[in-house]
Amino acid sequence: MKHGFVKVAAATPDIRVADVAFNMERIMDDISEACRIGAKILVFPELCLTGYTCSDLFTHDVLLNAAKEALLETARYTADKDILVFVGVPLEIEGKLYNVAAALNRGKILGLTTKTFLPNYGEFYEMRQFSPGPKEARYIHFEGDRIPFGPCILFQSTVMENLIVSAEICEDVWSPIPPSITAALEGATVIVNCSASDETIGKDSYRRELISGQSARLIAGYVYANAGEGESTTDLVFGGHNIIAENGTILKEAKRYHNEIICSELDIQRIVAERRRNTTFQTEECRTLIKVPFYIEKGKTELTRTFPKRPFVPADETARAQRCEEILTIQAMGLKKRLAHTNARTAVVGISGGLDSTLALLVTARAFDMLGKDKKEILAVTMPCFGTTDRTYQNACEMARQVGATLKEVPIADAVNIHFRDIGQDPEDHSVTYENSQARERTQVLMDIANKTWGMVIGTGDMSELALGWATYNGDHMSMYGVNASVPKTLVRHLVKYAADDTADEKLKKVLYDVLDTPVSPELLPPKDGDIAQRTEDLVGPYELHDFFLYYMLRFGYEPSKIFRLAEMTFKGEYDNVTILKWLETFCRRFFSQQFKRSCLPDSPKIGTVALSPRGDWRMPSDACVSVWLKDLGNVSLKENKEDE
């Protein structure tokens, strides 16, 4: 359970209607199987000890007594099991019959959660047999024990403080104000649902959206167990549609019409971090709800859920195309507003033939189209110097022509050499001064051209570079509006590819594809045999790793050791542990040491949930220390994936 992961399961057992002994045996079998696969929380369907479709048989003492005895026997069965189980059962309490989800742990019945909303429409007539649960939970005496009874009971782990579980039953989640809202507001991070939702045309889609939506609304994990084959088919068919969701994302979903156990791992740490940063999610001090402790061992959690290698980039091709179109529109809309507000006559873009400047030029062209401005007023400026290769130079020039911009060439080698002479820099000394002098000279050229043409310099730097500080302060770091500042490098590539795939201009398409094939480089060192001598990812690390680190560190506040664990699993076979650890340490060190560059960023449009604007998204002291993060990283083992213990 280290790093906040807890394995949960939803089970649909094979049952027989009203055959309580048979159903109990199948439930016990599933409890054993869930324990075998390491699940710590297991949820069964509504009224599964008897079957949901018993109808008026629920009024018979023989069935109710058998159900009570089976519940007690099932509770005893969990005595040596390391698991919290929720099982559906009909129970007569104080002369009334209730639809209950019983929580079982370590041989005891911890609580009896009642169904609040009883459907009495369409194919459902529960009020014929059952009474709605009380408005608030209270303690009752049940089989010699004092047990919580009612809605919204909170079950809190004794070994994982933020693992707080609450149950609701089927129709409850379909109601306008589900009980799970109250439970979540008082701290529940996991909601379980014992359900018996029948199958009708299209209902599975609605159910899927309902459960994922409720988990998103509550910023919680949601484990939904549904009745399946074995229920009566007199009027209805149940499909065993089990769902495990986390904050709007479905982690696991059962194949319908096939009784099975599904399991996945909920990330409680992620849920808590998301609630912490979402100030409109106002948890309340628990004054009204009953909280009951349960015990599960703090043991090994084998992860079966996966994490995307490129969390900023949708894996689905259609979704990726839609995302790219939306991002390009957001970027262009931001620039359109700024150009119109400042009455800028021109937009000045420094083009290098690389990915970032290519994207900036494409966005600028879009903004000009939106404004109805002549794209000849886009001044695409190429500034060849010591490291410029013919390939990138030709691509930059051809791209400017195909976009319809005005191409300007300003060689800067002479100016930089004069600057070297003035400051006493040996041209053969290819240190950081050698590189940064070129970057700052280019920025000066762009700014002065913008002044001369009543224009605005459009920034090209991307979010990954800003996270690492891979930019020359007051060089490529500076502009008058930075259209790419919220776009990570892995996404920049897909945006340029989308533009290439989308254009009907074959010449533009060809040059964009060649840009995509060009190694990422600042081109500040002389070429070797005409080829790029300086490859960014050789120096600072692979951007796919850094974007992975960036996403999980900023989006969820994960500690470096957890990020390492996820990266180790996600990039297995591509990067060894030593390589991942090396670049993660580099990321942490650079992220902290380079904040001063982010503290004075130009304005730029936000395009996603992770952004580094010092005004709205990431406010961090420029002299914050990285020591705590590096100390956590020092606990990482480089041995082959050693699961948490």
Q: What is the pLDDT of residue 635?
A: 84
Helix/strand/coil for 7: strand
Based on the fold, state whether residues 335 and 477 are members of the same structural domain: yes
Catalytic-residue membership of 286: no
Task: Decide if 117 is inside a domain.
Answer: yes
CATH number at residue 213: 3.60.110.10
Angstrom distance (rounded) from CA 617 to CA 354: 27
CATH number at residue 365: 3.40.50.620
Of 279, 294, 309, the residue that ends a domain is 294
Based on the fold, state whether residues 253 and 331 are members of the same structural domain: no
Based on the fold, state whether residues 528 and 594 are members of the same structural domain: yes
If one counts the domains in the chain, the total is: 2
Mutual orientation of helices 543-556 and 560-570 as an angle, nearest 10°?
Answer: 130
Convert 506-522 to b/e letters by CB count within 10 Å (16 or more is b): eebbebbebbeebebbb
Q: Cα–Cα distances in Å, from 374 out to 172, 517, 613?
A: 59, 30, 31
Task: Decide if 74 is inside a domain.
Answer: yes
Residue-wise pLDDT for 208-228, tens only, equals 999 999 999 999 999 999 999
Identify the active-site residue in 115, 336, 489, 562: 115
Angstrom distance (rounded) from CA 314 to CA 309: 10
Based on the fold, state whether residues 427 and 329 are members of the same structural domain: yes
Q: Are 571 and 580 in contact (CB under 8 A)?
A: yes
In which residue ranges of the chain is pLDDT below 70? 284-287, 300, 532-533, 639-645
Based on the fold, state whether residues 261 and 342 are members of the same structural domain: no
Q: What is the pLDDT of residue 643?
A: 43
User: Could you tell me if residue 469 is left (phi over 0), alpha (psi between -120 and 50 degrees) or otherwise beta?
Assistant: left
Based on the fold, state whether residues 70 and 191 are members of the same structural domain: yes
Question: Which residues are paired to 455 by β-bridges?
Answer: 346
Starting at the edge strand that comes first in sequence, how are the strands of the sheet with 291-294 ordered?
249-253, 243-246, 221-226, 190-195, 164-169, 154-157, 291-294
Angstrom distance (rounded) from CA 385 to CA 416: 9
- Domain of residue 147, residue span: 2-294
Catalytic-residue membership of 588: no
Helix/strand/coil for 431: coil
Give me the amino acid identity at 435.
E
Task: Decide if 509 is inside a domain.
Answer: yes
In the chain, the largest separation of any two C-alpha atoms, in whole Å, equals 101
Identify the active-site residue in 170, 194, 385, 588: 170
Give me the amino acid identity at 134.
P
DSSP H stretches of helix in 478-556: 489-502, 506-517, 536-540, 543-556
User: Which candidate, 625, 621, 558, 596, places its Cα nearest to that of 466?
Assistant: 596
Task: Decide if 641 is inside a domain.
Answer: no
Pairing of strands 138-142, 108-114: unpaired
Task: Decide if 233 is inside a domain.
Answer: yes
Task: Decide if 338 is inside a domain.
Answer: yes
Angstrom distance (rounded) from CA 549 to CA 69: 52
Residue-wise pLDDT for 135-191, tens only, equals 999 999 999 999 999 999 999 999 999 999 999 999 999 999 999 999 999 999 999
Based on the fold, state whether residues 577 and 621 are members of the same structural domain: yes
Angstrom distance (rounded) from CA 373 to CA 455: 13
Question: Which residues are paired to 148 by β-bridges?
Answer: 139
Q: Read out DSSP for 86-154?
A: EEEEEEEETTEEEEEEEEEETTEEEEEEEP-----STT--GGGT--PPPSS-EEEEETTEEEEEES--E
Based on the fold, state whether residues 120 and 44 are members of the same structural domain: yes
Q: What is the pLDDT of residue 283?
A: 72
Angstrom distance (rounded) from CA 404 to CA 395: 14
Query: Which residue has tokens 């992860």?
Result: 303
Angstrom distance (rounded) from CA 603 to CA 578: 38
Based on the fold, state whether residues 282 and 328 are members of the same structural domain: no
Task: Decide if 7 is inside a domain.
Answer: yes
In the structure encoding, which two tokens stand for residue 64, read together? 């109710």
Give me the amino acid identity at 350.
G
In the structure encoding, which two tokens stand for residue 460, read together? 């090209």
CA 515, distance to chain mean position in Å, is 30
Residue 307 has a CB neighbour count (10 Å cut-off) of: 16
DSSP H stretches of helix in 164-267: 171-174, 179-185, 203-218
Q: What is the pLDDT of residue 271?
A: 96
Helix/strand/coil for 495: helix
Query: Which residue has tokens 């976009």?
Result: 403
Q: Are 281 and 24 in contact (CB under 8 A)?
A: no
Q: What is the pLDDT of residue 538?
A: 83
Based on the fold, state whether residues 94 and 231 are members of the same structural domain: yes
Identify the active-site residue in 46, 168, 377, 559: 46
DSSP H or E stretch at residue 406: strand 406-409
Angstrom distance (rounded) from CA 188 to CA 183: 5
Give me the amino acid identity at 179.
P
Based on the fold, state whether residues 609 and 518 are members of the same structural domain: yes
In the structure encoding, which two tokens stand for residue 106, read together? 């370590």
Q: Cα–Cα distances in Å, from 93 out to 131, 150, 196?
A: 10, 11, 22
Angstrom distance (rounded) from CA 496 to CA 516: 8
Catalytic-residue membership of 115: yes
Based on the fold, state whether residues 241 and 374 are members of the same structural domain: no
Angstrom distance (rounded) from CA 30 to CA 585: 43
Task: Decide if 620 is inside a domain.
Answer: yes
Angstrom distance (rounded) from CA 534 to CA 200: 61
Mean pLDDT rounded to a whole number for the chain: 94
Question: Which residues are paired to 528 by β-bridges?
Answer: 531
In the structure encoding, which two tokens stand for residue 575, read together? 């990067």
Helix/strand/coil for 199: coil
